[in-house]
Each structure stands twice: as C-alpha cells, then as structure tokens.
Structure 1
Amino acid sequence: MLEKALARSIRLICLGGVTLGMSAAFAQTATPEIQKVTVTGSRISSPNAESPSPLQVLSSADIAQSGATNLQELLLENPTMGTPSISRTNSNFSTASAGVATVDLRNLGVDRTLVLINGRRVVSGVPGSAAVDLNTIPTDFIERVELLTGGASATYGSDAVAGVVNIILKKNFNGVLADASVGGSEQGDDAKRKLSLTFGTTSADGASNIMGHFGYSRQGAVFSKDRDISAVDQYSEGALTGNAADLFKPRRPYLSGYAPQGYFYHDTGSYTYDAAGNPIPVSTNGSATQAPTGYNRSEFRTIAVPTERYNFATSGNLALNENHSAFFEGNYASTSVTTKLEPFALGSDDIYANGQVPAETFVNGAAVRNPLVPQYLYDRISDTDGDGLRDYFFTRRMAEVGNRGSTAERDTFRLATGLKGTIKDWNYEVYGVYGSTKEAQASGGQVNVLNFRNALQAVPGADGTPMCADATARAQGCVPINVFGFNAISPAAFKYVNAPGSLETVTTQKLIGGSISGEPFQLPAGALGIAAGYEWRKEFSSSTPDALTQAGLNAGNATPPTAGEFEVKEAFLETRIPILKDKAFAKSLSFLGAVRVGDYSTVGNTTSWNGGFEWSPVQDIKLRATRALSTRAPNINELFSPPSQDFPSGLKDPCEGVTATSAGARDDACRAAPGVNANIAANGAFSLNQSDLQGVSGFNRGNPGLGEEEGRSTTVGIVVTPRSIPSLSKFTFTADYFKIDIEDAIVSTPRQYALDSCYGGGNTSFCNFITRRPAAAGANSAGSLEFIDSAVSNSGGLGTKGVDVTVAWADKVGPGRLNARLAYTHLLDGYDIPLPGAERDPWEGEIGAAKDKASLSLGYKWGAFNLTSSTTYIGKSALDNVFLGDFDLAPGSVKVKEKVYNDFQLTYAMRKEVDLYVGVDNAFNTKAPPIISGLPGNTTGAETDAGTYDPIGRRYYLGLRVKM
C-alpha cells in the first residue's frame, strides 16, 4: 500500500510543475484569540463576527493541541455535532464503510451536513451517499475549520440543510515541518502512530507558491474482551423481564445459543454436547447444576476497528500576471480498515426454507439414514413435514470456518484546478473538480448455503464411508459435513462449504463551476456587494458484492448490487446591501440575500434561498438574523437501492405476553398470525427464546419516485465584542437561537413504528413489512419475527431547535497568557415524523441528543511551556421514548448520568526549532454509561453508545515537532 500511495503522490507533485524549495517556517502553537475571517456561507467577503449566520472556527492550533489523529475526533467535541452514523468505534458490524469518519450537525443526519474543502464539494467516502470520509483529509494540512449551522443550500447547493463544515487548507507555507507521535491506552491497546511532513515554498514576490504534505497514521484495535463492561455477553434484565427498574441491570452472562458444538432440536426437546462428545441438556447460561453450554461472542468482537491511513495533499498558485493566476489543490488518501467479530451463527433455517434438515435420503425409493447423524438424535426424530424422511433442526457456531470480518482498502483521489483573478474590479473564479473513491473489501467466515445443503445430505458409500448423496455435487467436490460436536467439521468439508466474500465500490464526482463577485456601485451606507455563479455536477456510485452475497446464498445478508447516477445544473445570485451606517442606534445595518435554482435529472427543478440582517446599534453589539429555505435531493442509495438485508437490534415484539384470552386490539392482531397462535398453544403465552431475540432480519430498499426535501431554518442572535472597553477588549460573546424544520423528509420507515402500527396501532398496511416464522418452526420459535423490512419515502418530517452560546477571552494573566473559549448548546426540541399524520416522535434529551452539551478550551502559555486543556460535557440523556412507552413509562423518565471528559496537552519548546509535547485524553478515565444489549442506542460489542461516549478510556501520547 505504501508503494501505491507514494507513486500516486509523485504524480500529484508533478501537477505543480515546479521544484519544491525549503525555507524556515513553523505553525503557530499558542491558542489564538478569535480573529476575523472570510465567512463560510457567503461568496461575499465578511468578517467572522459580522456574519448573519452562526459560525464557529477551529484553528490549526486547536487541531495540533487536541492530539487528534482524525478531524472527526476533534469535531465531535463541538456541541453542535450529533452522533455520527459511522466512526471507528461504532462500525465493526458494518457490512460496508467500516471505519469511515463522518459528521452530523444538529443530529439531522450525515447526508444533511455538507463538507467542503476551500468552499468546494468533496467526493463522498460512503457509496451512494453524500457523506465525506474525514479520514481522507490530513489534519496537519488544515489551516482552520469553519462550522456554519443552519441552511446554506442557496450558497452551496443540496445537502447543506443542517449546515456546512468548510475545511480551509494551509497556504503560503514556507519550509518543512515534521510531526511524529506515538500513543496508546492505559490498557495497552488502541496503539497510535503518526508521522507527517508538510513542506512548501513561495516565490520571491509572494505571488506564486506550492505546498505538499505527506502523512501516515495508524490506530490499533480495541477488543470487547479487554474492557470490563463488554467482556461477557449480556442483555438488559429489564428488557427481558419487562421490569422497568432493571433496564440498566445486565443479565450476565447472556450467552449465545449458537454454540460451536451445536444445539440440536428433536421431536420432544433439544440437546448439545460436552467437550468429550457426550450428549447433554442445553443450558445456555448455566445453572446451579450445569456449566454454561452457550457461547461468549464478546471474546471476539472489536470496539474500535484498526485503521491505517496514508495521506498526500498538495496545493499551488501560479501568478500569470498581477491580475490573474492559476491554482490547483489535490489530495490522495489510502485507508485500510479491518473488522473482526465472532464466527458465523448458522441455523438450519439458513440452509432449508422450513429449517428442517432431513436425516435420511431416498435411494432407489428407500429412505437411507445419514451415517453422520448420531444414533442419539436419530432415535428421537420423526417425519415432521410429511415427506417420508425424519427431520431435525439445529443451530451452530461455525468456529471451524473461522472468525468473521473484513479488510477494506479505500483509495480517494481529488483534484481541483482553475483560474482566478480580477477584471475591472470584478473578481472571478472558474474551476473544475474531479473526485473518486474506490473500495475493495475482502471478507471471510461465511458459508456457501447450496454446498452446505449438499454436504448435510450424506449416505453410506460402497465401503461404508459417508459420501454426499447427490452425484452431481460429488463430481463438483462435495464432502459430507459433520456438525455434531466440537471441531467436528473436517478440513475438507470446511474447504467445500467456505465462502469468502468480496465487495467492490466506486464513487465519482465531477464538478465544473464559476463565479464572479464585486461591488458595482456605492450606496450611502457603503458598497453594494454582488456574487453570481453557475455549477454543473455529476455524481455516480456503484456497489457490487460477490455473487453468493447478492443471492443471499452465503447464509448472511442478501445484498444485491446498487448503481446509479444523477446530474444537476445550478445557478445562484447573492447580494449584500448596506442600508445604514454611522447613524443613531445604527452603527451599521445590512441585508444579505441569496437564491439558487437547480435542475436535477432525478427530481427536476429546485429552489433555495436565504435572507438575513445584521444590525449594530452601537459599535460593540451586533444583532443578526437569517431565514433560509434549503433543499436536499435524494442520494443514489435512497433512489436506487434494491432490497438489501439487515439485522436490526433493540426491537420489542408487541405480541410478547399475549395469551389465548387476553383482550385488546393488539392481542387480536397478534393472534391472527398462525405462528403466534401455535406459540401460545405450546407455551400458554407468546414467548421468545434467546435465538428469537438475536435472529431478527429484514430488508432495506430505496425508492426511485422520491422527491426533494425542503428545510426551513431560522436563526436569531447577538454578538458582543466590547472593544471600546479596554479591560474587555479581548472578550467575545455570541448567543444564537436556531430552528430547523424539514418537510417531506426522506426517511426509512422505523421498524419499531411499523411493529406498533401493525399490531393494534390502527394501520395494518405496515403488516406488509413484517414476516413471522410459521407454526411449523416448533414451539420455541413459532410466530417469532423473522423479517421486518423498511422502505424509503418522503413521508416524514424532521426538525430541531435550540440555543448556541459561545464565549472567548484571551489576555495576559500573571507571567503568561491565558486563552479561554466556551461553546454551549441547549436543545429545546428535536423530532421525527415517520409518516404523514403520525404524531411527532421527540428525540431531544435522548441518548445521542442530550439537551445540554458544552466544550471548554483553556490554554496557558508561559515562556517555553504551553499547557492546554479541553473539557467536553454531555448532559443527562434518556432512553428512547418509544421504547419507554412499551414499559408504560413517561418520556425522559429513565436516564443515564451526565459525562465529562477532560483532555490535556503540555508542549515544551526545547529550542526554537523543536517542540516536545505530551498529552492525555480522557484523563480521569470517565466510564461510558451502561447502554447494554437490549436497550436502544447500544453499539454491538461495546455495551454503550460508542458513537456518543468514549468506550476506550484513558489514553496517552508523546510527540515531537521539528521545524526547518
């Protein structure tokens, strides 16, 4: 991989067409006070504190002092950010895109947060989505990150419904900067290695420059078994018993019923095997008289997936004359991610539609027994499906096949180039951008269902040795398989049924655009500002699994190929109109407005707009307000995805506990299912076993008839910068109210909502999404949920509102200089509407969307020492209200405690050219709350919400920066 990365890097350097010179330079190390910068969200220049839209800025010093290997790690500390759908700590079970680093402003979804580089779009890192993989953007090449919250589609186009993350890369860098660090957790895992080189040169007149950057980083794995909270399989006691008081109490162990020795079900019961090969009763979690026969999946699961990255970035500017210049920016990233989880859990219903395995085969009209079927089982089974052959059921952990998991190699390439300059006081820019992301994923641990079926049907050969009954299968290399007991599968049988998987994805983005801006004339209060432009964009994505996976014949998720593309042509116009200046109670008053019209090949015409005022009654106070209409066109996955299999968790079956005589609409609807009736007849009340709870599947599908969604956002705020008061001249305060409501939101029907609506909820159309196991599945599983599907539609609504507050201050204190910055968000509302006419499902204050979040950064520089700290606060958070409703509990009544995380870094300037730094993250080893299996928000393998809370613990790092 390194050779490939370097080769691609050399090709990018050649684009600059010059030789890089080296001269002395070094990045700033002290936390700067808030400075005025060009505003994100406008094509017209405006300082930070004068933006009519809320804007937060993170500098290169903030990034360096965080010790972050990936930009996502730092951004997630900002209280405007929600829980990302994909990160290194919540994607071990992802069938694609594991380890990708995404961001989610306002908890409105990653596809509603637009990520830009230098104000231009970036190719997606998730096939079929608009989500950008922050792994591809080297942190040491970033000058600053600007977070604009609120709709910005009028300026940047689709996807900027929640806001924009604009990553500004460094420029005019001279010399060489080397940065190397190592680190790891106090548990001895999560090993971190990082090395970067940034280099550049500028022409003597300062008009031309070129820069380059090479970076390598690796973050090691963290296994579930190495953390006390997740070392053993467990499940919420309250979720199992219905006792709300025990929701956070784990039943531990709660081992899997899919064990390496197999569980076998006959006419009257079940059994398994001990280590000596003797049949014994099933006792999954053990008892007072018997050791557990179940399987601890946590022994093999990963909390944080190991991720390795190579990054190369380059940029340059060539002055053609004093008014015109050419520019380019390019980056290449190669990322490798490995997932690891327990061996595959195979059930006989994965092999046969009815789950019944024949213990005999007809040969010349006579039933011949499979010689591998033990006498103990053969004597206890009969013909249960009427085909004249004895049948049995089984579940088994395929330990001989090996652990499941995948290795994904991703390559992302992006090049932007163009011309910019000035013609008669008008600034112009024309540009083209091309980006592509390719992923090659190889996976293991699955089995070939067709081969497995052939291998299960064995008969005695001429010499009595078992052979596959089907002659064609024998000719193709079929080897009989023995599933009875530990390590019973022979190497030859394993080779025959083994089914390695693969996935190939391609995502491309093509963009051509141009803009002009200027001040055509003066008004009494100042110059009128205008910007206008045009963009053409084409997006393509394809995802192609191997043939067995497409057909669902590897006993895993049936995932068909997805491919699609769309084009869009857009034009925009923006203006800034100064209305008053230097008047009584109007130091300044301006209006900012923008409109964008688009023509999509998928949804047709769209229109976005925004308008805002900024008013300074006096010099030190500014009031600002914006109103915007933003649009988001559906992405390729939402439009073109065929049904793809998923395994949802945390669902509660409404029929659990229903009896033959219990009354109510829910009970009547449940008894209408034959399997539920059979289960009630066998057990007295509808009940679920452990395999039922862990074996629910379903299919997700797209919708080519989708339309665009529209988001209306309002922000009203105040900025206080008391520069006229000497003692407060370094102080800045902002407070902003925000409200975002999305109509016709593109949503996937929530599975729990479908269940509750079908069974007594008054909408039987949702029953079409649900498939229960038949009565023939046996007393233990009859009527249990087999499939719950979900489809995409424009039927939903989505919204949020709250208040953001930021405070910054910097000044000399004692012998050194103190810098302080506080960002705080209070969430007033957050909701989903799954279907028209449905009640709002509020989510503010729930896990992942705490009502109160804050981050505090402090820095003190004294001579050669610079000490910085970062404190992140996540307020008390409740379990999902729909889940609590199933226990007749009020929304917000069951909560986890607030969490505070503290990070520290100390930098020592050993001499002018060398800085030594040491840091600790989660310094006080704050434990993640126990959001255990069976509770909403659980991340499989972590026993908490690993996208919201830190599941790893205290971590240390040591680094060295050398400037030349």
Structure 2
Amino acid sequence: MDNRLRQRLMASTLLIGIAGGAAPAFAQDAAVAPSEESAVAADSGNAIVVTGSRIARPEIDSVSPIQVVSQEAIQNSGVTNIQDLLLENPVFGTPALSRTNSAFLTSGTGAATVDLRDLGSDRTLVLINGRRVVAGLPGSSTVDLNVIPTQFIERVDILTGGASSLYGSDAVAGVVNFVYKTDFEGLVADAQYGITERGDDANYRVNLTYGGNFADNRGNLMVHMGYTKQEGLLSRDRKNTVYDDADKWAYFTGDPADFGTSVEPYFSSFAPQGRFVANGRSFTYDANNNLKEGFSTNGPNGDGVGADGFNRQFYRTIAVPVERYLFAARGNYEVTDDINFFAEGTYANTNSSREIEPYPLGSDDIFSSSGGLVPIETLVDGVVRVNPFVPAAIAAAAVDEDGDGLRDISFSKRLADLGSRNGSTNRDFYRVATGFEGSIFDDFRWDVSYVYGRTTESQQSNGQPNVLNFANALAAVQDIDDLNNNGSTTDVICASAEARAQGCVPVNIFGFNSISPEAARYIAAEQSYNTSISQHVVSANLSGSLLTLPAGDLGVAIGTEYRKESSSENWDALTNAGLNAGNALPDTSGSFDVKEVYGEINVPILADTPFFDMLALRAAARLSDYSTVGTVYTYNVGAEWSPIPDIKFRGGYARSVRAPNVGELFTGPSQTFPSGLVDPCAGIGLTGGGVIGDNCRADAGVLANIRQNGEFTLNQSDRQGISGFNSGNPNLNEEKSDSYTVGVAINPRSIDALRNLTLTADYYNISIKDAIVSPPRQFILDQCYGGGDASFCDLIDRRATNTAINSAGSLEYIDSPLFNGGKLKVEGLDVAVAYTTAFGALDPDGRLSGRIAYTHLFDGFVVPVPGADKDPFVGEVGNSKDRFTANLGYGQDDFSLNFTGTYVGKAREDDQLLAAYGLEPDAIKIGSEFYLDSQARFIADERFEFYVGVDNLLDNKAPRLLSGTSFNTTGTDTAADVYDVFGRRFYAGVQVRF
C-alpha cells in the first residue's frame, strides 16, 4: 500500500473506527493511532470496503457511525463467547438470550444474542464477512453467537442506525459484521482456564488454528478447531440466592421504603407433602409426615421455622452450563490475476442444560372443567368406592361440592417425586459460503456468492406430568375382586379397566415421598422439541469508480440478491394438546423468499478548497419483493463535510424495514389463560351504560344474563375461566423505521502532540412504526366495547347460554394474534474518545493507550397498540440513561497491562408497575454500578505468550431485584442480563505459535 493511500486510510478510519468498548492492543503494535486499518473489510490493490457501504474504492468511510472491536481487543478480554465482550459496549441493549436469562425458557436455552439500541434482537442484523447468517432460533432471524469462532475473528464492525437499503431486512437498529481473518500462516494453539472466586462456574477453552499458502502463494487455507465449556452456576451455590425470597414492597405494603428489603424465606405454597382443601378446611403434613390441619407457608414467625412451604430456589439456576465444539475453515485461490475463488465453512455444536424446581401441580391443572375439584369417590358397578389413599380426616371433612353425588377435595402438590424439571438442548449449526470475486477495468470490483446455512435443535425435558394419566391414577379403588389376579384383595388399583389395560398405576398424593416409582413413571410426561431452520442466499455485487469528477471519483455500487428462509418446530403430542399441565403449544412451519436489487452512489462535490476540504453526498436504495408482504422500498441519504482535514461533520437519514419472520407469520394458536381482566359489561343493565352498554347488550348471551339477574352478573368461575389463543398472522405487513444521525469526528493530525487523539460524537434518532405486536387482552376488550375499534370484537367469544359452572354471556375466549400496530422510538448520543502515546525518554519502549465509549439516552418509549399511552423505558433497569466503557493500557514489546471499566448508570423500576401501586415513576431507584476488569500479558519469545486476568476486580454485588419486581430474572434475585451475577473471577491462558 503506497504511503499516500495509507495516510488517507488512517485519517478516514480514525474518524469512524473508534473501537467503543474494545480494549487496545499493545504487545506487538507500534505506537501509532489506534486501529488505523481496522475498519477496512477488505484490501485489494487500491480498493477497500467498509461495513456501511457497498462501494469498493480508496479513501471511503461511512456516513453512519461505525465502531470496531479489534482482534487484539478480543484477545485482551479473555472472553469465552464474543457476546460477553460486545455487551460491554453501551450501544448494545439487554440481550434477549444469554446464559443468565434462559433457564426458564421452553426453547433457546444457552443461546447468546445481541440487541442494538434495545430495539429487539430481530431488528439487529448479524453478518459474517458481509454475508447473512442463518438464525439460531426457530421462526426468527436472531443469530446465536455461539456459532462464531472467537479465534477466527479479525475484528467486529458495529454499524448503528438503519441499514436496510444496503443489507436488506432486519437491519433496523444496525448491523454487527464479524470479519474473519485472511491469508493467515502458521499454527497457533491456545488454552485458557477460568473460575470464580467462590470456586464455581469453571470454564475451559482449547483452540487450534492453522493457516498456510499453497500453489506458489496463489492460495491460502485456514482451519480452526475449538472447544469451550462453561460449567454453569446454580442458585443454591450462592448464599444470597439459596432461599426463596420476595421483595417486601412488591408483595405487601406498596411502601417505597420497603423496596430492596426481602421477606426471606418466602416459600411456595406448592409443597412436596401436598396441601389439601376439603369443604374449606386445609390439611397438610408436618416434617415427620404426620397429617395436620392448617398450612403455614413460612412458619408462624415468617422466618421459615416450622414452615410447610417449599424452597424453589434450591433447584433454580443462575447461569446455565454451555459446552461448544467449533470447526471453521476458510480458503481462497487466485484462478487468474483478476479472479479469486473463495470458500468458508463453519460447523458448531452447542450443548446446554437447565434445571428448575419440581413441577407445581394443582388439581385445577387436571380437572379444570370442574374448577379443580377432585372426586375422592368413584362409582363402580353402581357402588360408591372411596379412594383408599385418602386419609380418614380429609375424607370426613369432604362433601359433594359440584353436585355429582361424589365427595370432592382440591389439592396442590410439588411433584418432587418426579424430580426437578430439567432439560438438555443440542443445537447444530452448519454454514457454507462460496463464490468468486475479482476486478474488471481496473476501477471495478465484483463478486458472486452462494450461502447455505442450517440450524437444527433437539431438546428433551422431564419433570412435567401427563394429566390424562394423572386423572386415571387419582381414580383409585381397593381391588376387592382381585381384578389384577395377584392373589390380593387389599391392594389398590386404578378404577378404569381401560386405564388398567394401558398400564395405569394408582397414585398416592398424600404426604412426603408418597408417589411410588411405578406411579411416577406412569404419570411422567417426557417433553421433546425439535427444530430446523435453513437459509439460501445468492448474491452478486459490482462496485467502483464510474468516472472522475473535479472533487474526486464518482463511486457506485449495484447488486442483486435472492434469499429463501425456512423454519419448522415440532413439539411432542402431549405438549401440542396441552396435556402435560402446561399450555398447548402448536407446531409451526413456514417459509418465504425475497428477490432484491440495490444501488448506491457517492458523489464528491468539493475538495481541497477553503472551508471545504471535502464535501460529498451519499445515497442508496433497495427494492425488495417478498413472497409474503409484496414489494417494499428502502433508501438512505447522507452527507459528509470536512471544513479542514482535522474535522468531519456527517449526517444521514435512512428508511429501513423489517419483514415479518416465519414465526410471526405462521405460528399456530397457542392457548393461554389470562388473569386480572375486567369485563366492560360487568354491571350493565337493560338500559344505560352509553356506548359500552349498547355494545354489551348487542350480544345475545349478555342480554340473557341481564334479563335473568337484572344486570350483567359474573361468578368466580366466570372470572377465572377466560381462555384464549396467541398466534401468528399470515396477513402481517412489514415494519417501517426512520433513522436520523448527525455527528462530528475530530482528529487533530496537524498538531503533533494530538495526532493520535480521536473524538467522535453522534446523535441518533430511530423510530419504528407498524411494529409487529400482540395486543393486550384488556385493550381488545376496551376497544371492542368502548367504541374504539369494532374489528377487535372479532377476537372475542362469549358463552351463549349458562353452563354447569359458567354464566351466559361470560367471556370464554379472547384471542390475541399478532398485528402491525406498535411504535418504538429511541434517541440518544454516542461519544467516543481514543488516544495513544509513547512515553518517550521516560520509557522508550512503553506505550500508553486509552479509550472511552459513552452513550446517553434522551428518550425511548414503546406504544404497544394504537391509542395506548407511551410506555417510556429510558432510565429503567437495562436502559440506564448513562453508560460507558473505558479502557486504559500500558504496553512494551514483551509485556502489557490493561484495564477495562464498564459503567451502568442509575436506574429505576418499571413505571407501569409503580403506577399500579400509585407511585411516581422515580419512586424506586437502583444505584449505578462500575465493573473493572484487568489483564496482564507476557511474551516469553516469538512463540510463547502467557496471560492472566481478573474480571469484576472490585467484586461488585448485583443490586437486589427480588421476586415480584419487573426486571427480576428468576433464580438470580437481580436483573441477571444487566448486572454481573458471578462476582470476582480469574482466568489464565497460554498461546503457542509454531
């Protein structure tokens, strides 16, 4: 590279390539400005490509703000998964999935995702070498970062702001582009071990990377193999999470002074020995397994002494274990001087597991149609038989509560005899990208490529009951006729001959360890979940200088792309039917394809004139034809102005879109049972009530109820018997986003002492309309009956007549399909500063480098449905107004020491929850946190390098956000996806080069 081009590259990259959140590299770099070539995605002759533009030509940079995480920064962080490093950067929001927030999910356990600007992971586009990556979660476009081989990364480009015109759908919040190494030669092996100060969550890492040239250096092949394991952390392993506890404020008084103080223990009323209610009288068993009347969750003094309840926390998880195998390869071969063949492939196998407390079964899970009443008697050949497992005291208290002539009870029981709810997840990822690239007419570069990706997941879970089998097993009688032919007339059998023929084993639910192993096997419901996602992408691009204008080259890029996405997910039959005591979950499958063309232009207006060292305009547009939503258009425009070489102003506007994904389009109805709904028709009479009254009386069932009772009247079963289905919607349209950015970049190269100082400040404003949302059911009711939007009435079904337990006109189903109706907005300021200097005479070999990346949020809110009030999230937990990451390092040729500090500003509770208690939005506050990490590296010689590091050096404890608060991650007593839950931890590693 000639010196003039190198200087121009340094200038443009310094202005846009501040590596926010990235630790600087010292050990082998010269004392020059940081990352002077790090924003360059490719370098071929005099043509370069930067994430944020498709035009390949010298001196180009991006109108949109770009931050860069370098290879050295990745090494100096010691991270096992690249997600951990990226989340230190304040441009990223709370991850949808990570090791610390996925234990309670039905899918996605152990996945690692990123979310730019907290606008949703599906609105952040993840690329590898500028090309798409198949999703890791079914029905979505969200990429699992477990598939990224950390040691294969040259750098990570983070483009913030809408970029759909350049990269297509999903780039609403921005782009994260992982750029792999090229032309690597040699063999590098490294190993690392880490553990927390408490001796848990050990992690291991072993990697081998080989690269070499062949065919007289016309080709290069690079191969990487890696293994990582993170052992995980259970809630019982830490003293602050060993017991169930709840926030006193959230559960009791509503007094802000109580916030952060806990009721501990706060045991669950679903106890392993069971709780039984007969005719209003409550029974349970004491610690010696003796029947007693009454039940005390936390003991008579609220301190757990003499408590009958259950400590769920003993079985919960703070961080799930993850084990990963990775294989990656990349190669290229120069077919001719102007044509290069390339291919890259990645295989990743990720295994994770989860454990949560045994299932809390209530009798209403089995006998929902009778309000949870369980008959303790069975009619056999016209004779009433009493279940012999039922204790005499409970049987004596029981009465016929539902009018069928048989005595009833209700119960709740923690199914500890079935063991904990646990599951294992195995996820396989395959990706191949191949194609040709080259140059024509000296000024143009071209490439054609094909990308295939596939992700499959297999999940097995245990611990939930088969409710059909459970119901059969509860109908138990004494085998007085020796029907099982075992010679005994005193044993207990299932009453149903059909159930016995299918292997029914009677179940005893009364007391500790009461369920026999045979009965446990009969009532257990193993759960399976299998998914498959595939992606095909064919693309072609051409870019270069069309002609030379007085102010420079007129750069253009054009291209086309075809993409097809398919996804399927399949549950076991019991889960499909909702017969494992959970809600019914449907199978989902679907696909779509899209054909796209795009164009980009860079027009230099002025150059090398007073007050206009450079003035240029940029524009891009894309036309996309989806098989689902039809034709959509995206575009952006921008300008750059440098009055002098040391200062650049930039600004841009982008219209971006996000097309609905497979899950949003094709997910079938999934049943749910909402609570807390208020029926607008309650209390309505034959006249009056305005619009609500008129709309309610228009329903025949409601009118019949009013005529029977004088006004519309509901019973407890009516209020608790509301169901409904959540589902996708094949008629969804695309989301639309408007993104504005204005910024300045300063690099005082004309001042020798400051030539290695860079400062950037960028204002951003991103708003999304027609966001895909699921309308709240109370909103559906209010819109239907309050005269807002009558179309919502189509989602409501009422009972036409009285039933055995429900009233005419009562709500039976309220469905909530996805639709385009939400709004999101985020507005803020990014500031980044970097400086590198040599110590000079004081330390001729020493270098000092520092960087700060800071983000301030001005505004951010969600409007969940049309007509709803704004729900602001700025300043709430996970969206602190102020965040920054700062790096400071010292290095010599054989030694470096660096520190990384991450600041999370003060925050507050969710304003919606506070309003429910009549509190002001700032009534409950959480203090700021500052985490400090450090690493020292030693280079013994050109082959051996050793390093040691400490994360959370100050051993900060995460703020307590207990059960009942909005941001609590179950099992962690905090927002585990925001704050550090591990405490101080150490790691050490070695790298050997051959």
State TM-score, norm by structure 1: 0.89
Q: 1:860 to 1:41 in 2, by over 3 A?
A: same
Residue 395 of structure 1 is matched in structure 2 by 412
Match of 1:20 in 2: none
- Which of 487, 506, 514 matches 2:532? 506
2:630 pairs with 1:604? yes
CA contact (8 A) 2:575 2:583 kept: yes
Give the letter aligned to residue 238 of structure 1.
Answer: W
2:282/2:293 contact within 8 Å kept: no
The match for 2:226 is 215
Distance 1:800 1:340, change over 3 A: same
Deviates more, 1:438-447 or 1:46-55: 46-55
Contact 1:176 1:200 in 2 (8 A): yes
> How many residues matched?
911
2:940 aligns with 910
- Structure 1 residues 80, 908: closer, same or farther in 2, change over 3 A? same
Give the whole-Å Cα distance in 2 for the aligned partners of 1:652 and 1:261. Answer: 30
- Taking the aligned partners of 2:581 and 2:379, their CA distance within structure 1 comes to 26
- Which runs of 5 or more structure 2 residues have no equivalent in the other structure? 1-25, 41-49, 482-488, 684-688, 706-713
Q: 1:84 to 1:767 in 2, by over 3 A?
A: farther
Determine the C-alpha separation between the residues in 2 that align with 1:418 and 1:762.
55
Contact 1:50 1:622 in 2 (8 A): no
1:76 corresponds to 2:87? yes
Matched to 1:250, the amino acid is: S
Equivalent residue in structure 2 for 1:950, among 980, 984, 990:
980
State which of 441, 448, 458 in structure 2 corresponds to 1:430.
448
Q: How does 1:358-397 map to 2 (within 5 A)?
A: 358-397=375-414
- Determine the structure 2 residue equivalent to 1:143: 154
- Provide the rounded CA distance (Å) in 2 between the counterparts of 1:546 and 1:885: 41
Matched, 1:201 2:212: yes
1:52 partner SS = coil
Alpha-carbon distance in 1 for matches of 2:260, 2:72: 41
User: 2:306 aligned with 1:291, yes or no?
Assistant: yes
CA deviation map 1:518-552 (0-9, x unaligned) = 21211111111111000000000000011111111
Q: Is 2:373 aligned against 1:356?
A: yes
- Read off the aligned partner of 1:90 and give its amino acid letter: N
The alpha-carbon distance between structure 1 residues 646 and 953, as it changes in their structure 2 partners (threshold 3 A), is farther
Matched, 1:258 2:275: no
| Post-superposition offset of 1:239 | 1.8
Q: Is residue 718 from structure 1 mapped to residue 729 from structure 2 by the alignment?
A: no
Q: Per-residue displacement from partner, 1:740-771 (whole Å, max 9, x unpaired)?
A: 01110112335787799899999999899899
Taking the TM superposition and a 5 Å limit, the aligned residue runs for 1:676-715 are 700-715=726-741
| 1:922 partnered with 2:952 | yes
Cα contact 1:440–1:504 (8 A) shared by 2: yes
Counterpart for residue 822 of structure 1 = 852
Contact 2:27-2:896 within 8 A present in 1 as well:
no
**Amino acid of the structure 1 residue aligned with 2:756:** K
* CA-to-aligned-CA distance 1:176-196 (integer Å, 9 cap, x gap): 111101011111111100001
Q: 1:122-157: CA deviations, max 9, x gaps?
A: 000001000000000011110000000000000000
Partner of 1:277: 290
Q: Which moved more, 1:232-241 or 1:847-856?
A: 232-241
Find 1:456's aligned residue among 444, 449, 474: 474
Whole-Å Cα distance in 1 between the matches of residues 230 and 884 of structure 2? 27
* Residues 588-629 of structure 1, C-alpha deviations (whole Å, 9 max, x = no match): 111111000000011000100011101100010000001000
Partner of 1:3: none
1:836 is aligned to 2:853: no
SS of the counterpart of 1:454?
helix
Answer yes or no: is the 8 Å Cα contact 1:711–1:740 preserved in 2.
Answer: yes
CA distance in 1, matches of 2:907, 2:187: 46
Matches of 1:914 and 1:776 in 2, distance apart?
79
8 Å CA contact 2:464, 2:524 repeated in 1: yes
Name the structure 2 match of 1:415. Answer: 432
Q: Aligned partners of 1:876, 1:696: CA distance in 2, in Å?
A: 40
In 2: Cα distance, 1:297 partner to 1:789 partner: 32
**What's the CA shift for 1:921?**
0.7
Aligned to 1:5: none
Residue-by-residue CA offset, 1:409-437 (whole Å, 9 max, x unaligned): 00000000001111223211000000000
| 1:794 equivalenced with 2:838 (yes/no) | no
| Aligned residue in 1 for 2:347 | 332
Question: Counterpart in 2 of 1:343?
Answer: 358
**Which of 903, 906, 910 pairs up with 1:876?**
906
SS at match of 2:546: coil
Q: Which of 185, 197, 200 is the equivalent residue of 1:189?
A: 200
Letter paired with 2:296? S
> For the aligned residues, what is the CA RMSD?
3.3
Question: Is the contact made by 2:283 and 2:291 (CA closer than 8 Å) also made in structure 1?
Answer: no
CA contact (8 A) 1:902 1:924 kept: yes
How many angstroms does 1:459 deviate by?
Answer: 1.4
**What letter corresponds to residue 294 of structure 2 in structure 1?**
P
Paired letter, 1:200? G
After superposition, the Cα gap between the structure-2 partners of 1:204 and 1:320, relative to the gap in structure 1 and judged at 3 Å, is: closer
Q: Which runs of 5+ in 1 are unaligned?
A: 1-25, 678-685, 779-783
1:309-328 mapped onto 2 (5 Å cutoff): 309-328=324-343
Q: Distance in 2 between matches of 1:887 and 1:687?
A: 26
SS at match of 1:261: coil
**In 2, distance between residues paired with 1:867 and 1:585?**
42
Distance change >3 Å, CA 777–CA 346, structure 1 → 2:
farther
Distance 1:403 1:932 in 2: 22
TM-score, normalised to structure 2, is 0.87
CA contact (8 A) 1:717 1:735 kept: yes
Q: Give the equivalent residue in structure 2 for 1:249.
A: 261
User: Aligned equivalents of 2:677 and 2:59: distance in 1?
Assistant: 52
1:94 equivalent to 2:105? Answer: yes
Stretch moving more, 276-285 or 523-532 = 276-285
Q: Matched residues in 2 for 1:423 and 1:576: separation?
A: 20
Letter in 2 for 1:454: N
Residues of 2 paired with 1:861 and 1:772: CA distance? 73
AA of the residue aligned to 1:881: D
Q: What are the within-5 Å matches in structure 2 for residues 26-65 of structure 1?
A: 33-36=34-37, 37-38=39-40, 39-45=50-56, 50-65=61-76
* CA positional deviation for 1:697: 9.4
Q: State percent identity of aligned pairs.
A: 50
Query: Shift in Å at residue 891 of structure 1?
Result: 2.1
For 2:836, what is the secondary structure of its paired residue? strand
User: Secondary structure at 1:350's aligned position in 2?
Assistant: helix
DSSP 3-state at the match of 2:940: strand
Query: 1:442 aligns to what?
Result: 460
